[in-house]
C-alpha cells in the first residue's frame, strides 16, 4: 500500500510529554491534523518532575519552530543557569555564574513547559486516559492501536513519544532498557528561602553537584521556592527490599543513607535529612548503544523511546529536537514514508553519537568533580 501524503494521513502520537506535544504543535501550526494519546487520566494527574534547562541549539530551536520561544522566555528562570560543584566537605570547587543576558540554557519547570505546549494545541488534540497496549505489526498498511480500555484506532503513522518503557518501540525494535547500576533517590524541599536559608545559600539559584567517587548529591532549584535533590548511589536494582526496607519507610531509608554518607559535611547531609515527604526511587536505565531499527513507513520513535540515555541534561532537549525535525519532515515531504526515512537518516546517527558520549554518564555522576570542567547536568526531571 502506498504511503499517504502527510496532509491526508491519520497521525497518532503516543505520549503527551514535551517531545510528543512539540511535534503535535508544529504539525498543527502547518495545518496537519494529529491526535495525541496519553495514559494519564488528565493533564493534572501527576507531578511532572523537576526543572529542565533548554539549550539554544535544540530545545529552544524546537520552541522557535513551534512559535513559542518568546512565551518560554517569559516563564524561564535565567538565574537557574548558575551551577556549583562542591566537594563532600561542602567547599566550592567550581562556580558558574551566568552573565547578564546569558540565554544558553535557562531553566523551566517541566510542568510549566508541558502546560505551555498544551495551551498551544487545538482543543481535543490530547485524548487522556488511553493506555496503549499494542501496535499491530504489519508494515505495509495502516497500524492498529489497541488500548487498555478495549478500544482500537487505525493510524497511517504512529509516533512513539512514550518514554523509557515505550509500548510503541516493540513495533520496530526488540530493544529494552537496561539498568545502569546507578540509582537516584529524589527528595523534595519546599519553602527554601525562608525555611532553609543556609541550604538555599549552599545551592545557589541554580544547581549544585557533589560526589566522592561512589555516591553523589545533585540539588536543583525549581520555581516557587522549591528544590529537588537527587541522591545518587551505585546500588542493585532491588536495594530497598535487600536492606529489609519498603519505599514508604522514609526514616529507615534516611538512616541507611546517613550511614553511607557518614563522611560528608553536615551542611550537605541536610540534603538527605531535611526533605519534605518521602523519597522517590528512580533507578537509571539506558537503551543499548547504538539503538537503531529497520525503517518502517508507518512507525517511528522520538526522545527516550528512541534513545534513552543517562540523565546529563540532554534528554528533553533531544526529544524536542527530534519532534521538530520529524514534524518539519512531514510538512516538507510528499509521503509519510519519505518523511520518516528522512527524519531517521538524521536522528539515528545523531542519537547514536550522543549516546556513545553519555554511555558512562551514570558513573560520571558519581565521579569526583573536575574543578576545570563545565558540564550540563540534569536529574531525572531533565529526561
Which residue positions form the known binding site for FAD? 53, 110, 304
Question: What residue numbers does the annotated binding site for NADPH cover?
Answer: 46
What span, in angstroms and rounded, lies between the C-alpha atoms of 106 and 79?
A: 7
Q: Kindly report the three-state secondary structure assignment for every residue of the chain.
A: CCCCCHHHCCEEEECCCHHHHHHHHHHHHCCCCCEEECCCCCCCCCCCCCEEECCCCCHHHHHHHCCCHHHHHHHCEHHHHCEEEECCCCCEEEEECCCCCCCCCCEEEHHHHHHHHHHCCCCCCEECCCCEEEECCCCCCCEEEEECCCCEEEECEEEECCCCCCCCHHHCCCCCCEEEEEEEEEEEECCHHHHCHHHHHHHCCCEEEEECCCEEEEEEECCCCCEEEEEEEECCCCHHHHCCCCCCCHHHHHHHHHHHCCCCCHHHHHHHHCCCCCCEEEEEEECCCCCCCCCCCCEEECCHHHHCCCCCCCHHHHHHHHHHHHHHHHHHCCCHHHHHHHHHHHHHHHHHHHHHHHCCHHHHCCCCCCCCCCCCCCCHHHC
163: phi > 0 → left, psi -120 to 50 → alpha, else beta; which? left
Look-up of cell digits 534513545:
307
Question: What residue numbers does the annotated binding site cover?
Answer: 46, 53, 110, 304
What span, in angstroms and rounded, lies between the C-alpha atoms of 259 and 306?
A: 38
Amino acid at each position: 500500500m502506498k504511503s499517504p501524503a502527510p496532509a491526508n494521513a491519520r497521525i497518532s502520537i503516543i505520549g503527551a510529554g514535551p517531545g510528543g506535544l512539540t511535534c503535535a504543535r508544529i504539525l498543527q501550526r502547518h495545518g496537519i491534523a494529529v491526535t495525541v494519546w496519553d495514559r494519564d487520566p488528565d493533564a493534572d494527574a501527576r507531578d511532572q518532575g523537576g526543572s529542565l534547562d533548554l539549550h539554544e541549539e535544540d530545545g529552544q530551536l524546537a520552541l522557535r519552530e513551534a512559535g513559542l520561544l518568546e512565551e518560554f522566555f517569559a516563564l524561564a528562570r535565567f538565574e537557574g543557569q548558575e551551577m556549583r560543584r562542591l566537594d563532600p566537605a561542602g567547599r566550592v570547587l567550581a562556580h558558574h555564574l551566568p552573565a547578564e543576558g546569558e540565554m544558553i540554557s535557562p531553566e523551566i519547570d517541566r510542568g510549566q513547559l508541558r502546560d505551555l505546549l498544551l495551551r498551544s494545541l487545538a482543543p481535543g488534540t490530547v485524548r487522556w486516559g488511553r493506555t496503549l497496549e499494542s501496535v499491530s505489526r504489519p508494515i505495509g498498511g495502516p497500524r492498529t492501536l489497541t488500548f487498555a480500555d478495549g478500544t482500537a484506532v487505525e493510524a497511517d503513522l504512529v509516533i512513539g513519544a512514550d518514554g523509557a518503557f515505550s509500548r510503541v518501540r516493540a513495533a520496530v525494535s526488540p530493544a529494552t532498557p537496561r539498568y545502569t547500576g546507578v540509582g537516584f533517590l529524589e527528595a523534595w524541599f519546599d519553602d527554601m528561602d525562608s525555611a532553609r536559608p543556609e541550604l538555599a545559600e549552599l545551592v545557589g539559584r541554580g544547581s549544585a553537584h557533589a560526589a566522592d567517587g561512589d555516591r553523589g548529591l545533585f540539588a536543583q532549584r525549581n520555581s516557587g521556592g522549591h528544590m529537588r535533590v537527587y541522591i545518587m548511589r551505585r546500588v542493585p536494582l532491588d536495594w530497598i527490599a535487600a536492606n529489609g526496607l519498603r519505599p514508604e519507610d522514609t526514616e529507615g531509608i534516611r538512616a541507611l543513607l546517613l550511614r553511607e554518607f557518614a563522611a560528608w559535611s553536615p551542611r550537605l547531609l541536610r540534603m538527605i535529612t531535611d526533605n519534605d515527604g518521602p523519597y522517590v526511587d528512580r533507578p537509571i536505565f539506558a537503551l543499548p548503544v547504538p539503538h537503531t531499527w529497520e525503517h518502517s513507513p508507518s512507525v517511528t520513535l522520538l526522545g527516550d523511546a528512541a534513545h534513552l540515555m543517562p540523565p546529563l541534561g540532554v534528554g528533553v532537549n533531544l526529544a524536542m529536537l527530534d519532534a521538530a525535525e520529524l514534524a518539519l519532515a512531514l510538512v516538507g515531504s510528499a509521503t509519510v514514508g519519505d518523511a520518516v526515512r528522512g527524519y531517521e537518516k538524521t536522528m539515528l546517527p545523531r542519537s547514536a553519537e550522543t549516546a556513545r558520549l553519555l554511555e558512562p554518564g551514570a558513573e560520571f555522576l558519581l565521579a569526583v568533580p573536575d574543578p576545570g570542567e563545565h558540564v550540563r547536568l540534569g536529574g531525572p526531571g531533565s529526561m
